[in-house]
Structure 1
């Protein structure tokens, strides 16, 4: 009888510990999520597109090799079969963004691959704005901005942002390989932020691309179980210990007899 009691309590305790572990793993998986970060859906589900009025071009989902509108040479995807790229037939300014909830108590590391193919051949032109009407302007940048931010084409491209993730860049085309970037979003844990990929061109064609946008979240410390569960675990441990002591005493008495 005592053996079966001990087994039952040990099994119960193991189940509780497993449940706690699964809960921690589930919380980690849901701590921050990028929707459709590899664009494998073939569309921009989870993302929002903004184009400056009066301009040309857009963001596109592509399989690579050739840009979708201007037919320029672009790399293949880094993983899977799709990625996002800008293309145009004239000057324009284009934004691709997603709002991300960053759970408190976790470290959040953003990672993604990017290209910035500038077919103008004269390098970066950064007048301090992403407005297509300010010339010359030929650049790609990535910013973290507050949720609700809409001032994409203001006189200052940095006004109102939380931080710049990738400084303005323009790589002389053709570009044959991707760049990888990681960035720590932990300072904004406990809030929702807007991740924005921004490209402007008014000199010549520009193919900015992003792929495999991900966030890896890890607990800053092991979460404590709630008080009820904690008491239950402690109680189970106590019962198990008492049962074990009684079993040991019974075995000793049997040996004496």
Structure 2
């Protein structure tokens, strides 16, 4: 089971495949793929192993396309940060930001990460639909961006939505050349890799099998038997 199962997002490390996520692809996009270690995508682009050297997902295509990876979640009260690791490989000459996320119209070569209001269209760029834009490629950015970890405090932006369902969205659009957008270790919460803390009064797993504890248990057992024998003799 994924270590992210207790986070605001389910399976943010993709160790359970794409469970919890919704994928939508258009045009010549390939299905969003999962890989472990270095891999080569269609078009010859190499994607290195993720920072945690485990599974990640990435986009690829054979021609103009759009790819979306989304997950709905309920906003928790308190500290909320957006965490994710990203790798970008753009084989066009630059990033291009059109007015829409259309792949079959004006030149468009970009990737972005957003939190949307619940029920917003998957391809929306309407200001009223976007609560947070946590990342977006820009013209002039390096065409290849090695894995980086992003941490963005979105507590204030999400505060009005506590208890409501919103949507985490990764979007990638291309119609100029091949484009790979790789993602790993996604979460919204206090930490990037959440887990269940051990209760303060819990005993360590090996405490009941340590030599001292075994001896103590044996001593109590002997004392119990002696007490029983004493009562019988009495």
Q: Is the 8 A contact 1:92 1:200 kept in 2?
A: yes
The alpha-carbon distance between structure 1 residues 157 and 204, as it changes in their structure 2 partners (threshold 3 A), is: farther
The residue that corresponds to 2:91 in the other structure is: 119
Q: CA RMSD in A?
A: 2.4
Of 110, 115, 124, which aligns to 1:144? 115
The residue that corresponds to 1:49 in the other structure is: 23
Partners of 1:123 and 1:68 lie apart in 2 by 19
How far off is 1:216 after superposition? 3.4
1:160-171 to 2 correspondences below 5 Å: 160-169=129-138
TM-score normalized with structure 1 length: 0.64
Of 2, 21, 33, which aligns to 1:60? 33
Partners of 1:60 and 1:202 lie apart in 2 by 20
How far off is 1:78 after superposition? 1.2
- Runs of 5+ in structure 2 lacking a partner? 192-234
Partners of 1:169 and 1:40 lie apart in 2 by 30
The residue that corresponds to 2:149 in the other structure is: 180
How far off is 1:174 after superposition? 4.5
The alpha-carbon distance between structure 1 residues 116 and 45, as it changes in their structure 2 partners (threshold 3 A), is: same
Point out the structure with the larger helix share: 1
Partners of 1:116 and 1:183 lie apart in 2 by 19
- Runs of 5+ in structure 1 lacking a partner? 1-28, 219-257
- Residues 62-85 of structure 1: CA distance to partner in whole angstroms, max 9, x if unpaired? 124223433421111111421111
Runs of 4+ in structure 1 deviating by more than 6 angstroms, as ranges, are none
Q: Is the 8 A contact 1:69 1:88 kept in 2?
A: yes
Larger radius of gyration: 1
The alpha-carbon distance between structure 1 residues 72 and 79, as it changes in their structure 2 partners (threshold 3 A), is: same
Of 17, 24, 49, which aligns to 1:76? 49
Partners of 2:188 and 2:129 lie apart in 1 by 23
TM-score normalized with structure 2 length: 0.69
